[in-house]
Amino acid sequence: MAGVHAVLTHSARGFGRHWHDSFGFGVMDEGAHRSASGRGPVLATAGKLIASNPGEVHDGLPVGEQARRWRMVHVSPEAMAALADLRPGHEITQPVFDDPLLHGAIHRLFLCWDGSAPAADHALWDEALTSACGLLALRHGNRQPGGSGLDTLGLARARERLLDGLERAPDLDELASLAGLSRFQLVRQFARAHGLPPFAWLQQQRLGRARALIAAGTPLSEAALACGFADQSHLNRHFVRCFGFTPGAWRRAWLQ
């Protein structure tokens, strides 16, 4: 996505005073890091979340001259506005903090970016990015995005569109426009209403349909394509992750 990149750093070097054009947020995975941020001196230890605002001058030194390891997501102000309703004048209030919910969202985002997921899962990547940026803005921004109540009619329109798109789903922008919500409002409200964000929910619908088709005797490759998976291996990966057994094992059980 334009305006978004991620960096994984494992280094014992110190970094001089500098700034980024983007919002930055991530996780200190190992070691510790001292920095003079735009909001005063801070210490980030393993497990802490770290963040910086566009144009915020900061530096960074390892604690005890030991290597530290951290993962960062950088999002331009324009992309952040689209992803999380974070507008000009909004900023992240703390440079170092704890937040298990956001920590989990960042971890899921990096799992999407580890190179193993196929291009067919782009909607899930987009959703994970929107969720992480939205949680950052909602829980740690100086102004709160609006829309705390559930828009049941908008969510119903989004749900029906997803069910109509098992083979070829809409993207998040189209779905949000249909629901009359921002991207993050849609992801957040849909998860509150249905237990999962829209494309994770759609994936469960696809898997349920695939199970029914395979049980009815549909060849695995045909079932995969009919349910919106790129190919049989794509179906296999999600099937195993969700159910703990392969589509082939499911078919053999029905043939016995």
Are residue 120 and residue 221 in the same domain, yes or no?
no
Q: Is the pLDDT of residue 117 over 80?
A: no
**Quick one: average pLDDT of 130-150?**
78
Are residue 184 and residue 212 in the same domain, yes or no?
no
Are residue 165 and residue 229 in the same domain, yes or no?
no
Are residue 94 and residue 170 in the same domain, yes or no?
no
Separation between Cα atoms, residue 21 and residue 162, nearest integer Å: 36
Separation between Cα atoms, residue 153 and residue 129, nearest integer Å: 25
Token reading at 124: 């899930």
**Quick one: average pLDDT of 226-255?**
88
Token reading at 161: 């569109």
Global confidence as pTM: 0.72
Instruction: Let me know if residue 178 belongs to a domain.
Output: yes
Q: Is the pLDDT of residue 158 over 50?
A: yes
Identify residue 203 by its one-letter amino acid code: Q
pLDDT, position 144: 53
Are residue 124 and residue 70 in the same domain, yes or no?
yes
Tens of pLDDT, residue by residue over 38-67, are 778 899 999 999 999 988 888 889 998 789
Are residue 69 and residue 104 in the same domain, yes or no?
yes
Instruction: Let me know if residue 147 belongs to a domain.
Output: no
Alpha helix (H) residue ranges in the chain:
77-84, 100-112, 122-140, 152-164, 172-179, 183-194, 198-215, 220-226, 232-243, 247-255
Q: Provide the mean pLDDT of the chain.
A: 87
Closest CA to 190 of 154, 163, 164: 154
- Per-residue b or e along 86-108, where b marks 16 or more CB atoms closer than 10 Å to that residue's CB: beeebbbeebbbebeebbebbeb
Are residue 55 and residue 97 in the same domain, yes or no?
yes
- Beta carbons of 126 and 67 less than 8 angstroms apart: no
Instruction: Let me know if residue 145 belongs to a domain.
Output: no
Are residue 212 and residue 190 in the same domain, yes or no?
no
CB-count burial class (<10 Å; 0-12, 13-18, 19+) for 253:
exposed
Mode of pairing for the β-strands spanning 23-30 and 96-97:
unpaired
Percent of the chain whose predicted confidence (pLDDT) is above 70: 95
Number of domains in the chain: 3
Instruction: Let me know if residue 66 belongs to a domain.
Output: yes
Sorting pLDDT into bands at 50, 70 and 90, what band is 80? Answer: very high
**Quick one: average pLDDT of 236-251?**
87
Instruction: Let me know if residue 131 belongs to a domain.
Output: yes
Token reading at 91: 């900023």
Token reading at 92: 């992240």
Are residue 75 and residue 165 in the same domain, yes or no?
no
Tell me phi and psi for residue 118, to 5 degrees.
-75, 165
Are residue 118 and residue 230 in the same domain, yes or no?
no
Identify residue 157 by its one-letter amino acid code: R
Instruction: Let me know if residue 209 belongs to a domain.
Output: yes
pLDDT, position 149: 65
Are residue 114 and residue 205 in the same domain, yes or no?
no
Tens of pLDDT, residue by residue over 12-25, are 988 887 888 889 99
Are residue 117 and residue 53 in the same domain, yes or no?
yes
Residue span of the structural domain in which 161 resides: 152-195
CATH code for the domain of 214: 1.10.10.60
CATH code for the domain of 88: 2.60.120.280
